[in-house]
Amino acid sequence: MELGGEGKMKSGKKGTRTSPFGVGKREGHDSSPFYGRRLFEGLTFQDTPLGNQPLRRPSQQEAWLNKVFCRSSENMEDIPDGSIALAFTSPPYNNGKEYDQDLSLEEYLQLIERVGREVYRVLVPGGRYVINIANQGRKPYLPLTAYFWNLHMRIGFVPMGEIIWVKGKGASGNCAWGSWLSAKSPRIRDVHEYLLVLGKKETSRPDQGRSTITRDEFLEATLSTWYIPPERAKKVGHPAPFPVELAERVIQLYTYEGDVVLDPFAGSGTTLVAAKKLRRGYVGYEIVPDYCRLIQKRLEGCHAESENGNQ
């Protein structure tokens, strides 16, 4: 809705502006004074409205759709430009899991950047790249989230938000020790991970589609803190799985039914399983043959939810 003169919207309704004290209800208002402040100088990106332009909808006959490629996502030549609505992944943390290489920080970030550039290419304008990542270590603490934000902004991604995934209350009696009951050197125990939300060029999708998220699900998913229990590694057969519920919430929030979801570090295939359940297309890349077989087995045992189940 456009603003007319004297701070009133052209519909005749009184316009509102960003309040210094916040507001107690949802309302549309003119936020241009807020984004016009010098704090946002230099943070420019392409945000040209594309109208109701349809995005590329892959046909069911395309060879790459609903496939798992057992090779690196550093080159996703199988996928045409602008074909993916959402990429959701949890990359290897390079912290000593059985599938990790012992890369230096520089080498590790170079790998993440190569994959990120391919993700950027295959995403639709307004598409999202959501990365599940945790910071590492204690002596020193390695803030991987800071490196990831900077790296992906250099590629051209627009930062769209950060979700804190709380995996548990951490009251089980375990301790990171450091100094016990002393201020000398206590250690912080992480009971959360992060979901970094990045957009390609636009801050919104230029097209329309059928969303399958309910009102209550939307209200919960748009909070910055998600309380979802972790998945048990032995149950899935992978040392670092995330729960299907986490992937489902991301997919419901950022895609329409029929969109295509990508996981460039597919792991145990949870993102692909969630996409199939929710009637989305999927494509994944994984370099470990045993995990490729695990993904295929999980997908074969997964069935799309009924249409009534998505209402």
pLDDT given for residue 93 in this prediction:
77
pLDDT given for residue 151 in this prediction:
95
Taking Cα atoms as reference points, which of 115, 154, 110, 142 lies closest to residue 131? Answer: 115
55-90 pLDDT per residue, tens: 667 766 688 999 999 999 999 999 999 999 999 999
Per-residue burial over 143-161, b if 16 or more Cβ lie within 10 Å, else e, is ebbebbbeebeeeebbeee
- 3-state DSSP assignment of residue 138: coil
- 3-state DSSP assignment of residue 242: coil
pLDDT given for residue 178 in this prediction:
67
Question: For the chain, which residues make up each domain, given as ranges?
Answer: 55-169+188-310
- 41 Cβ partners below 8 Å, 6+ apart? none
Tokens standing for 233? 């590694």
- Give the amino acid at 219: L
pLDDT given for residue 137 in this prediction:
78
> Digits of tens for pLDDT over the chain (311 positions)?
333 333 344 444 455 665 665 566 666 667 778 777 777 777 665 544 444 445 667 766 688 999 999 999 999 999 999 999 999 999 987 754 555 577 888 999 999 999 999 999 999 999 999 999 998 877 788 889 999 999 999 999 999 999 999 987 654 555 556 667 778 777 777 888 999 999 998 788 888 899 999 999 999 999 999 999 886 655 555 555 688 999 999 999 999 999 999 999 998 899 999 999 999 999 999 999 999 999 999 999 887 765 544 43
pLDDT given for residue 180 in this prediction:
74
Topology at the third CATH level for domain 55-169+188-310? Rossmann fold (3.40.50)
User: Whole-model pTM?
Assistant: 0.82
40-64 pLDDT per residue, tens: 777 665 544 444 445 667 766 688 9
- 218 Cβ partners below 8 Å, 6+ apart? 253
